[in-house]
A and B are shown apart, each in its own frame.
Chain A
Amino acid sequence: MRHVLLTAAAAATLATGAPGAMAQEVTLGRFFGACENAGTDTTTSVGEPCIIQSIINAADAEIDGVSINTLPTDWGNYYDQIKAAFAGGTPPDVFVMHRHRIPEFAGIGALSELSGDLEAAGIDPSDWSENALEAVSYEGGIYGVPMDFHANLWHVNMGLMEAAGLVDDTGAPILPSSPEELLEHARMVEEATGQDYLAADFAQFPIGVRLVLALMWQQDANIFTEDGTATINTEEAANAVTAITQLFDAGYANPQLNYADSQQAFLNGEAAVLVNGTWVVDFYDAQAADPEVALSNYYAADFPTLFDTGATWADSHMWAIPSTLEGAERDAALRVLAFINDHNIDWARTGHMAVRSSVVESEAYTNLPHRDEYAGTAAIARDTPPSERYGAIQDVLNRELQAIWLTGKPVEDALADAELEVQDQLDR
């Protein structure tokens, strides 16, 4: 009986394996959110979800012998889903991840090392910028194809800034260069317009954490050292936190807004500055053009330097292949990666910074809206030292910082508790 079944299966495989009869299916996992009807035109889609899905749809249509099945995943639980899929032995053939996750996944051998196969697949790693190559490298190997750098920007409502007299002769916003100036500018905006100076998601997602991290890096401090010692209960951290809490205390910013509400406040013209990532530049640009949206004059500025050295939180999106994938399936997956790599300019339309030198130097790239306004961001991009416990550490910081601005926990207590807990995470 078993023999008969095997023969039948073999016959079926032969029949469907005939040239041109059946495409190799590639399962693809991604976050960025859903986009219905993204189409296959990669040059006109708007916003992260639709741009990435249009690239995937185009790959599905244009790569011969490959069909792509985008798996349903959810932003908030993406890595949990990927890990569960790995644990169950069915990881997606191609999936997007952040560079900060490489130690966790590559460290236990979950990711396929690609350096020997990139050229053959039509990907030229020498076209990647030095930082991009570093972003996907781990212990001497290449574990993914980089897609972007993304970083925190200051999204500015120029109408409110102008009313407060905070615009220079070139038409750029005047941003603070010290915590004292930050408070002063906030007061000027409040007095001139009655609106908040700054909005950000301080209440749910770790945008507030990234803000504090940037201000720590600007003082050449970090939350832990490469050798795994937590260094959070420090003067620098306290300086970074109070630079922000002074705005809450004076009523120039509202810590209780979450991501959607802070964004809405900015679009409604209720805040002069929104701290958020590069991923929304094209969206805010489109919103500013909409006459029904209060925001009408939009500027995407580099994160200002309030202390000694320029720094802003940054990360990279990259595409990886599981180490378990072999043969024709792996070849097909590599072709999908090559297709995404070829469309780096389309992805950059979101507002993200491109990873390929040929794209960065192209006219199409420099002509993207607002691109010149935050040209300095690439040079100040930073992140915490690599750690397998990145997610848990971010969560500790997010909780303790929320405790400060949402529940009035004394800064010193919160930083001491955060240091203890991060040390626990590093020691595990």
Chain B
Amino acid sequence: MRDAQRRYLSQRQSAWILLAPFLVTYALFLVYPFFRGIWISLHDWNLLAVAFNPDAMEFIGLRNYERVMWGRNIQWGFSAPLWQGLGVIGLALAVFLRRADRLSRFNAIALGVVSLLLVVLPGFHPGEGGRWYDRRFWPTVGNTLVFVGFTVPGVTIAALLLAAGLNRETRAMGILRTLFFLSQVLSVTVVTLIWQIMFSPRQGLIANITKTFGGTPINWLTDQQFAMAAIVIATIWWSLGIAMILFLAGLQDISKDIYEAAALDNARGARAFWFVTLPNLRRTITLVVVLQIILHFQVFGQSHLMTQGGPNDTTQVLVRYIYQTGFRDSELGRASAMAVFLFVIMGAFSIIQFVIGREKDE
């Protein structure tokens, strides 16, 4: 009896043992590389040179961050009236709506912070004789924001409409749900290959349709005005699936009673969607939007494989720039500094999601 008792572990001990594999893996493959990345970003670190001579790196503090994000004679002023004007309007709205109690405290703060960033960030510009040390970094950040700005609403709205349309329990709807989800399982190489063929001005489906109607085919991937649109379209097609499934799950959580009650008040179809479905899906929509934002900030393959960042850098995105700096140019320190910047952005959105997730239903 005493022997048998000795073999039992305390709850705490067994918890640690069960957690250990995860914790070790997590520490080894996520925590350690993360801190090492920050460490590398503080060095002048040539990928190839350090591989042959571990002493070939030099500690330079925050110089990499300065070289990437700052410049000579950078000044602040109202140099981008459009964005900064929008920011001022946003700030005023946040204060006004909060005063009038039309906005929750959280939303007011969120709107305020975004507006403040809009006022402050675009205002930096090189003054007389000045210049950015890295002329490509901020435009690249801008391209990434544009990509996220088009892709996230695109995916969200398309997935929501699809989910609403396919939320019926018939065999046909089941098949269609599977079909729409299928694109999600393809790898980025396959997706970009499919869409490169689709967009080809010579043999592409889109070009053939255009020609049938007597139009001139568009060079989607090499035309400055269409290149970003092309990778946004391919991305929306690719990432519809998960968002659609999340919305379907959300839709099935809405009680039928509410629709019946709404129907008695003559709210059917589009009106029911607007007044019943949307409000009940609020949390799912937030989840989808935040997840998509975090996901699409990391866009790489579409830009790398479809347009090579071109034409003239209009589809150059942050992760591709990090990749090029680290591997093509061997400047690992500089690349790590950019990666830390990307981490801060995505970290901010993760915190937003965390806060919203904890917020009690009003």
**Measuring CB to CB, which residues of chain A are less than 8 angstroms from any residue of chain B?**
76-77, 79-80, 83-84, 86-89, 104-105, 108-110, 203-204, 256-258, 260-261, 264-265, 323, 389, 391-392, 395, 398-400, 402-403, 406-407, 409, 417, 420-421, 428
Of A108, A110, A389, A417, most B-chain CB atoms within 10 Å: A108
Residue B308 lies at the interface, judged by CB distance under 8 Å to chain A: yes
Check: B184 CB closer than 8 A to any chain A CB.
no
5 contacts between A and B (CB under 8 A): A108-B52, A264-B202, A402-B311, A403-B311, A406-B311
In the assembled complex, the Cα of A109 lies from the Cα of B56 at a distance in Å of 12
Beta-carbon contact of A203 and B222 below 8 Å: yes
Stretch at the interface among B27-35, B174-182, B264-272, B321-329: B321-329
Closest to A408 in B: B224
Q: Taking A256-B223, A391-B328, A392-B329 as contacts, is the C-beta distance between A87 and B310 under 8 angstroms?
A: no
Residue pair A204, B222 in contact (C-beta under 8 Å): yes
Residues from chain A with a CB closer than 8 A to the CB of B307 are: 204
CA gap between A80 and B328 in the complex, in Å: 6
4 further interface pairs, Cβ-Cβ under 8 Å (given A87-B51, A406-B312): A108-B46, A399-B312, A403-B311, A406-B223
Does B200 lie at the interface of the complex (its beta carbon under 8 Å from any beta carbon of A)? Answer: yes
Q: Which residue of B lies closest to A109 (CB)?
A: B52
Answer whether A204 and B328 are a contact pair too, CB < 8 Å, given A86-B48, A109-B52, A256-B219: no
Residues of B within 8 A of A76 (CB): 308
Q: Are A87 and B311 in contact (CB under 8 A)?
A: no
Contact residues in B for A87 (Cβ distance below 8 Å): 47-48, 50-51
Interface size on B, residues (CB 8 A): 33
Contact of B312 among A261, A392, A409 (CB under 8 A): A409
Q: How far is the CA of A292 from the CA of B49 in the complex (A)?
A: 52
A261 touches B200 (CB 8 A): yes
Which listed residue, B49, B51, B311, B314, touches A89 by the CB 8 Å rule?
Answer: B51
Measured between beta carbons, the chain B residues less than 8 angstroms from A406 are 222-224, 310-312
Complex Cα distance, B219 from A258, in Å, reads 10
Check B329–A261 contact: CB distance below 8 A.
no
In the complex, what's the smallest C-beta–C-beta distance from A31 to chain B, in angstroms? 15
CA distance A256 to B201 in the complex (A): 10
* In the complex, the 3 A-B pairs of residues with the closest C-beta atoms, listed nearest first: A203-B222, A80-B327, A256-B219
CA–CA, A400 to B136, complex, Å?
12
Residue ID in chain A nearest B133 by CB atoms: A424
Interface pair B311/A203, CB less than 8 Å apart: yes
Asked whether B330 is an interface residue with its Cβ less than 8 Å from the other chain, the reply is: yes
- Name the A residues within 8 Å of B311 (CB-CB): 203, 402-403, 406-407
Interface code B220-264, partner A: CB below 8 Å = 1, 0 otherwise? 011110000000000000000000000000000000000000000
B135 on the interface (CB 8 Å rule)? yes
- Interface residues, chain B, with chain A CB atoms under 8 Å away: 46-53, 56, 131, 135, 200-202, 219, 221-224, 307-308, 310-314, 323-324, 327-331
Q: Is the CB of B48 within 8 A of A108?
A: yes
B328–A79 touching, CB < 8 Å: yes
Q: Are A204 and B308 in contact (CB under 8 A)?
A: yes
Chain A nearest CB from B210 CB (Å) reads 15
**The residue from B52, B201, B310, B324 contacting A204, defined by CB atoms under 8 A apart:** B310
A184 to B287: give the CA distance in the assembly, Å.
Answer: 62
> In the bound complex, how far is the Cα of B324 from the Cα of A54, in angstroms?
33
Q: How long is the Cα–Cα vector from A406 to B314 in the complex, in angstroms?
A: 11
Contact B201 A261 (CB under 8 A): yes
- A256–B311 Cα gap in the complex (Å)? 9
Q: Most chain-A CB neighbours within 10 Å: which of B48, B49, B307?
A: B48
Distance to closest chain B CB from A210 (angstroms):
16
**Of A105, A391, A395, which is in contact with the most chain B CB atoms at under 10 Å from its CB?**
A395
Question: Which residues of chain B have C-beta atoms less than 8 A from A323's C-beta?
Answer: 52
Q: How far apart are A180's CB and chain B's nearest CB, in angstroms?
A: 28
Is A261 a contact of B202 with CB atoms below 8 Å?
yes
The one of A83, A86, A258 that contacts B222, using a Cβ cutoff of 8 Å? A258
Residue in contact with B310 in the complex, picked from A105, A203, A392, A409, CB distance below 8 Å: A203
Of the residues A105, A261, A400, contact of B48 by C-beta under 8 Å = A105
Contact A86 B51 (CB under 8 A): yes
Query: Smallest CB–CB gap between B257 and chain A, Å?
Result: 56
The residue on A at minimum CB distance from B46 is A108
Q: What residues of chain A lie closer than 8 Å to B46, measured between beta carbons? A: 108
A86 to B51, CA, bound (A): 7
**Quick check: B310 and A399 within 8 Å, CB to CB?**
yes
A83 touches B201 (CB 8 A): no
User: Which residues of B have CB within 8 Å of A104?
Assistant: 48, 330
Q: What separation, in Å, do the CA atoms of A86 and B327 have in the docked complex?
A: 11
Q: Is the CB of B48 within 8 A of A110?
A: yes
Q: Does A110 contact B52, Cβ atoms closer than 8 Å?
A: yes
List A contacts of B49 (CB < 8 A). 108
Q: Are A420 and B135 CB-contacts (below 8 A) given A256-B219, A392-B328, A399-B313?
A: yes
Chain A: minimal CB distance from B266 (Å): 54
Q: What residues of chain B lie closer than 8 Å to A86, measured between beta carbons? A: 48, 51-52
B residues less than 8 Å from A420 (CB atoms): 131, 135
The smallest beta-carbon distance between A400 and chain B, in angstroms, is: 8
CA distance A76 to B309 in the complex (A): 13
A83 with B327: CB separation less than 8 A = yes
In the assembly, what is the distance between CA of A229 and CA of B310, in Å?
Answer: 27
In the assembled complex, the Cα of A258 lies from the Cα of B196 at a distance in Å of 12
Residues of A within 8 A of B221 (CB): 203, 258
CA of A399 to CA of B224, assembled, Å: 12
Question: What is the bound-complex CA distance between A318 and B224, given in angstroms?
Answer: 37
* B307 nearest CB neighbor, chain A only: A204
Give A79's nearest chain B residue, CB to CB: B328
Q: Which chain B positions have C-beta within 8 A of A258?
A: 221-222
Instruction: Determine which residue in B52, B222, B313, B329 has the highest number of CB atoms from chain A within 10 A of its CB, and name it.
Output: B222
* Residues on A with beta carbons closer than 8 Å to the beta carbon of B53: 108-109
A265: B residues at CB distance < 8 A: 202
Of A86, A258, A392, A417, most B-chain CB atoms within 10 Å:
A258
Distance A89 CA – B331 CA, assembled complex (angstroms)? 18
- B308 — nearest CB in chain A belongs to which residue? A204
A204 vs B221: C-alpha distance when bound (angstroms): 9
Please name all residues of chain B whose beta carbon is closer than 8 Å to the beta carbon of A203 when the two chains form the complex: 219, 221-222, 310-311
Between B131, B223, B224, B330, the greatest number of chain A beta carbons within 10 A of the residue's beta carbon is seen for B330
Min CB–CB distance B357 → chain A (angstroms): 37
The residues of B that contact A264 with a CB separation of less than 8 Å are: 202
In the assembled complex, which residues on chain A have CB atoms less than 8 Å from the CB atom of B328? 79-80, 391-392, 395
**Which residues of the partner chain A approach B327 to less than 8 Å between Cβ atoms?**
77, 79-80, 83-84
CB distance from B193 to the nearest CB of A (A): 12
